[in-house]
Structures are given as C-alpha cells and as structure tokens.
Structure 1
C-alpha cells in the first residue's frame, strides 16, 4: 500500500497522472472514503479529491476526519495537499506557490480532533511546526528544478467559508502576520499531525484577497486561474514525490510517542 498521498483541491486529479489505478472504499468510524491508488514511475500514490468528484462539497462540510483516518488506515505516512488561496501581499502574486509553515485558524464549526474524550481520551497535540519541513523541502527542490516561483514558509490563514472574506477581515489577517488566505488547510493539517503523519501544503495563489484586489472576488476567477496553472501544479506535485525521504528526521511522528502508539 502507498505511504504517500495527495489530497487535491479543484481540478488537481488527472487519470493520466497515475498508472495501474484502482479505486476502492475505505471504511472509517467517521464515514466511508473513496480512494484512488496508482503508480507514478516506481512510487505508489493514493489520491483523494477533497471536495468530491465534481467539487460538490463546500470547504466547511468536507469530512476531514474521515479523509485523514482513511489514509492512515491504508498506511500513508506523507501527505501533499493543495489549496487555492488569495494573497495578502503584493509580492505573492497569482501564479506563485507558497508552502505554509504556520497557520492561523479562523474556522468555526469544524470537527478538528480525533480525541474528544471517551475511549480515545484527550490529547493536546503540539502544533509548534504543523507543516512537515521535509515535505516542504522536497516540494521546494522540485519547484526550483521546474523554474517555478515557490516560497518555502508563510502563514496560511484558514477561514470558515464558503463566503469570501471582507476587506476588514483581510486587513486584520495582514496585521496578524498572514501571508495567504484559504478555506481548507485547517483542520486537515491538525488531524494529520494528531496521527503522526507528515503533511505539506501547496498554496496555489489564484488572486489577491478582498481589499487588495482591485475588483470584487468571484469563484469563477479562482477556477479560471486554476485552469491556467493546473498542469504546472500537477508537475510540481509529481516531481516532488521522489524527494520525500523514506527515513525521516522530522518531529511529525513524535506525537505518537506521547500517546504510546507504535509507529
């Protein structure tokens, strides 16, 4: 089974990306998840479309716990996730990529932990470095080789959605140190960390955020920008896979030591 997975946003998956693909349903206590597994060169890879096959699930209703648990159950240890984001900084332009190393959580109604008491107990998971530095390094190396503009480090501001943010909210996020704003990285990254998985985020900058953009924001603008960059995004992801080390030196799995779980 694969130890690397891709969680894709809008339009990321292409059937031609992987060879010898198979689809199956993984059952979890949080719900059933359809996973596609195939091979890229000599690497076995799992794929989940975060918003469903036809982008039918809005960000605040994604079953994040089921998705992450399903990947854990099949043996995945490394996750590359994509997200379309708005920029809070004129230096971060549409068509650029940012690899978040921190987040600010402004979600409101999402299930953000596997540990709610009861049989599972309560775990206060460390989030000092939520995004795996080794996965970020692998993606950055691939980006350099492909001559893409990839920034390694930045703050992902995660909002509830599905609405876009007000200009006042964006101004506040900028004052708090935000780099980009999106709607999906939290609680995904938190759940992966609770299970000792290495998680990296490729933030695909599709537009400037409200109050920075010279015009009102539309979902069609995001979709159109994604269409323009999607082949590049796919190349970046797949080129990164070979640089993800199998023997890790990061701290991502150390939460399992605290819980007394075998790695």
Structure 2
C-alpha cells in the first residue's frame, strides 16, 4: 500500500485527526526540514505529515528549505506526495473558497535552491517537467472532490511568485496574460524537487482571496484567515477520502 506524505501549507500546520506514532527529526545533506516529520495514521492509513512553514507557522515561502523537506520525506519512506497550498484566485471562476487541482505551473521565483543536481556532479541531469503533477494522484483528488460535493476546478495554471509580499495589480494582469488561473508562493521548487526524487506529486489548492485587482477592496489577513478556517475542513475531508480509497 502506497505511503503518502501530506505537505501542509498555510492553514494546515497540523493535521487534525492524525494519530501520531512518531515525530522524526531527520538529518539531511541540505540542512533541517521545516519541522519534525510526523508519522501516524490518518483515515485508517499510515501517512507522513510535514508542516511546510514549520509549527508554529514561522517560515516565509522564500525561506522554506524545500530540498531538505523533500529529501527527508523520501528517506522517511514517502512514496507519493499530496501538497496543500493556499492561493489567490485569478480566474473569475476560482473565487474565495474554491478548490483547484492544478495541471500546470509557471515559476516566477528566484534565488531559491531549486534542484538536487548541483555542485560536483558525475553528469548533468535534466528531468522532464512537461506535466508537473502526477496524473494518477490528480485523478484521486478530483474524484474525492466530486464525491465530497466541493466547488472545484479539475484544471488550473499555478503561478508561483517569490513572496512574501502579495502581488501588485499590474503583476496579476501579467500573470493572467501568461495564462495563470491561481497564484501562490510555495508551488516551486517543491514540485520539481519531487520529480527529481521520482516521487509522484500533486497539489490541492484552496483559494483564500481574490488576487490583487480582482475585487473592489484590498487584500486583508483577516479575509484570508476566514477563508482558511472555512476551507480547511473540506481539504481534510478530501484528503481523508483519497487516503481511504
């Protein structure tokens, strides 16, 4: 049976319902992961859980040690990864509270350690990244969303920006022109590092605010926190249904 790892983002620093059997402090060649890896049982299945931003939530998106996180999960026995991300909605159909299973990503980040293939290498390696997310995992998420009766999209282009600030209106106009449907700060290099480690990876994104210029007001943390509180129950239910399948 596949051992899944769940990477929790903003709003999911703890996995309610997880029966923890071990907290693993994994030493990696890339430094420390964001938090101890939690091994336990969720929805009747063994899982690993990692809080991307630490617990408590303290590590901004551009300072997450993505390489350590992915390496630690792989070496703790993870065989597939379900990543949860809080995002802004660009596509008019993807408003606050909407769930999205993206099928593509555009990387606008810079300065992040984005590959394991660096330094003194025996040979140069190029991984294929035409389709960033695992098709089988996406199908499981999409089926679970439909069964839960959630408002969701089974497609989406995720624009990954540097952060930690939110985007300007002009930047969102550019991202929309580039074809982006949602915008977040943590989708990369996480997805490509999973690919380099040959770990199937898919993303479940919760829209927590309209992107800049997509509503009449400014974006507030209070608005985002309300959306997180309202939406993470659905996220947990979807994850439980996937794991229980």
- Could you state the TM-score of these two structures normalised by the residue count of structure 1? 0.88
* Contact 2:13 2:54 (8 Å CA) reproduced: no
Distance 1:102 1:15, change over 3 A: closer
Return the match for 2:72 from 40, 47, 70. 70
Which digits, 9 at most, give the CA deviation of each residue in 1:108-130, with x for residues without a partner?
11111000141464311110111
* Contact 1:2 1:45 (8 Å CA) reproduced: no
* Contact 1:86 1:180 (8 Å CA) reproduced: yes
Range moving further from structure 2, 112-121 or 60-69: 112-121
Aligned pairs for 1:22-101 (under 5 A) are: 22-33=22-33, 34-101=36-103
What residue in structure 2 maps to residue 11 of structure 1? 11
Which digits, 9 at most, give the CA deviation of each residue in 1:1-39, with x for residues without a partner?
972100001232546412243212011101133100101
* Contact 1:207 1:213 (8 Å CA) reproduced: no
2: CA distance between counterparts of 1:95 and 1:226? Answer: 8
1: CA distance between counterparts of 2:122 and 2:99? Answer: 37
What residue in structure 1 maps to residue 241 of structure 2? 239
Q: Which runs of 5+ in 2 are unaligned?
A: none
Paired residues, what number? 243
RMSD: 1.6
Range moving further from structure 2, 18-27 or 226-235: 18-27
Q: Which runs of 5+ in 1 are unaligned?
A: 244-263
Range moving further from structure 2, 41-50 or 162-171: 41-50
1: CA distance between counterparts of 2:14 and 2:105? Answer: 29
Distance 1:212 1:66, change over 3 A: same
Distance 1:157 1:53, change over 3 A: same
What residue in structure 2 maps to residue 255 of structure 1? none
Range moving further from structure 2, 15-24 or 211-220: 15-24
Aligned pairs for 1:94-173 (under 5 A) are: 94-119=96-121, 121-173=123-175
1: CA distance between counterparts of 2:205 and 2:215? Answer: 18
What residue in structure 2 maps to residue 248 of structure 1? none
Distance 1:193 1:215, change over 3 A: same
2: CA distance between counterparts of 1:114 and 1:182? Answer: 23
Range moving further from structure 2, 24-33 or 213-222: 213-222
- Could you state the TM-score of these two structures normalised by the residue count of structure 2? 0.94
